[in-house]
Amino acid sequence: MARFRPLIGITTQSLHAIDGIPAGLPPSVVMNQRYYSAVTELGAIPVLIPLLHDDLVTLRALFDRLDGVLLPGGVDLEPSTYGEIPHARLGRTDPARDIVELQLARWSVEMRKPLLGLCRGLQVLNVAMGGTLWQDLETQQPDTIKHDCFPTYGFERDHLAHDVDLVEGSRLRRAVGQARMPVNSMHHQGIRTLGDGLRPSAVAPDGIVEGIEWHEDAFIVGVQWHPEVFDSADPHARPLFEEFVAAAAQ
């Protein structure tokens, strides 16, 4: 456990962006508790960030008090955020969350504040730095392997779908301590062009970039998989979260 308990901000999502939520409920924000449990178990103090998309002054005041930012998984980004029109297989979107997370990612890079992006969070970081996405890998890149191993398709969330090769010299490879590792996979979108200042740190067998990091000396990292699914002692999760919490504590 970290000697100094850093304050980690974890973004939320609109309740109504989730499939199956009935109309008529008051506006609400939610987030899977596994994200804040993952950092709490390593000594951090989690803070859930409301969707202050229409009050960036308050959002900045909150950001300034944080020691690190965690961008969780979730629904698709609005294609307009990277200059495209919606594809036929674009899923649910959450425009308020897009505004908040893209802004937090840019501030984190600007201030060199530790940031960890998971699944959608990797995609947010990439778009924040000027990158683009494939809106649907199956139809836009049909030669890719299966990446959409969702529970709705009968897969467990901890199903190890494929390996990734960890790029030599990357922060991610140093943290994990190995050149290759199996990962779970619950996404139908992926990086198309890499954002400015980002470099790949993990690559799937089909060439899809599944790990990115900012090239400067700061913990700005994104991975396409979901390490929060695993127990905190699991080698698929602990090294990454340990590095993140330690960077925030410093």
In sequence order, what are the beta bridge partners of 72?
Answer: none
pLDDT of residue 133: 98
In the numeric block, which tokens belong to residue 154?
């009968």
Give the residue among 39, 20, 17 at the shortest CA–CA distance from 30. Answer: 17
What is the DSSP code (8-state) at residue 110? H
Give the residue among 119, 31, 47, 70 at the shortest CA–CA distance from 243. Answer: 70
Give every CB contact of residue 226 below 8 A, 6+ residues apart in sequence: 73, 118, 119, 157, 184, 186
In the numeric block, which tokens belong to residue 160?
């190890």
Alpha-helix residue ranges (DSSP H) falling in the chain: 33-40, 56-65, 95-111, 120-128, 137-140, 171-176, 238-249
Using alpha carbons only, what angle is made at residue 33 by residues 35 and 118, rounded to the nearest 5 degrees? 25
pLDDT of residue 1: 53
- Cα distance between residue 70 and residue 221, in whole Å: 10
CA distances in angstroms from 65 to 32, 69, 97, 101, 110, listed in the order given: 23, 11, 20, 16, 15
Provide the annotated active-site residues: 119, 226, 228
* CA–centroid distance for 146 within its chain: 19
pLDDT of residue 246: 96
Each residue's pLDDT tens digit, 105-138? 999 999 999 999 999 999 999 999 999 999 999 9
- Cα distance between residue 146 and residue 166, in whole Å: 19
pLDDT of residue 137: 98
pLDDT of residue 39: 96
Residue 84 CA neighbour count, 13 Å, CB half: 18
**Domains recognised in the chain with CATH numbers:** 7-249 (3.40.50.880)
- Ranges in the chain, pLDDT < 50: 2
pTM: 0.96
pLDDT of residue 188: 97
Cβ-based neighbour number of residue 213 at 10 Å: 23
- Cα distance between residue 195 and residue 222, in whole Å: 12
Residues in the chain: 250
